[in-house]
Amino acid sequence: MKKLTLTSALSGLIWLSLPSMAHIEQSEPFQSLRQSYFALLGMTFAPMGDMVKGKIEWDDDRFSSWANDLHHVAQVGVERGFAPGSEQGTTRAKPEIWSNMTDFQSKLEDFRAAAAKLAEIAAQGDSAASREQFIATGGTCKACHDEYKSKDYLY
Ligand code: HEC
């Protein structure tokens, strides 16, 4: 197991201020798959947040390349990481996911659509519009986490 601390978390957006722990554990392939997906989202989203907050200098090309990465990672079929029977183990995924799969899927699609739009807007090089869409995208992460992600490991 590898411990990752997202020191560059955005204040006010608690989903990034939590220490995060991605793991690849052969006995838990589905948990590992989904956590790797989300860890990659987090590690892509965090530097964009640093730019939005002015912690690092704004650069259209870098922002756009991160937005592209986010968009492409978003497309990965993380759904198979939520296979029946993978509710337990080393996970922060709440059991409600499996009883509300349609709603969970729709929140995932909201996020994917927001990330696609972010990549599109960022490519146009309008930093104000990029900032606005970045915040909207963060809202789609939060909407899912509020309902379906526990703060601590569950089991
Ligand atoms: C459709 C729901 C959903 C969306 C959208 C979503 N997440 Fe998550 N996220 C989860 C769930 C569920 C977990 C817990 C997975 C587990 O522990 O098995 C998680 C875990 C994480 C983790 C911890 C990963 C680890 O190392 O274990 C990070 C970081 C994260 N999400 C960041 C993000 C960011 C950033 C976004 C948006 C850019 C996002 N998430 C969008 C549901 C979502």
Cα separation, 13 vs 15, in Å, equals 6
Find the 145 Cα to ligand 1 centroid distance in Å.
Answer: 7
| pLDDT, tens only, 44-69 | 999 999 999 999 999 999 999 999 99
Position 154 in a domain: no
Domain that holds residue 81: 2-148
Structural domain total, the chain = 1
Asked whether residue 49 is assigned to any structural domain, the reply reads yes
Q: How many CB atoms lie within 10 A of CB 84?
A: 8
CATH number of the domain within which 44 lies = 1.20.120.10
Length of the chain: 155
pLDDT digits (tens, 9 = 90+) for 103-122: 999 999 999 999 999 999 99
Q: Is 141 in the pocket of ligand 1 (CB under 6 A)?
A: yes
List, for the chain, all residue ranges whose pLDDT scores fall below the cut of 50. 1-12, 14-18
CB-ligand 1 contact for 144 (6 Å cutoff): yes
What is the pLDDT of the chain when averaged over all its residues?
A: 88
Claim: this prediction has a pTM higher than 0.85: yes
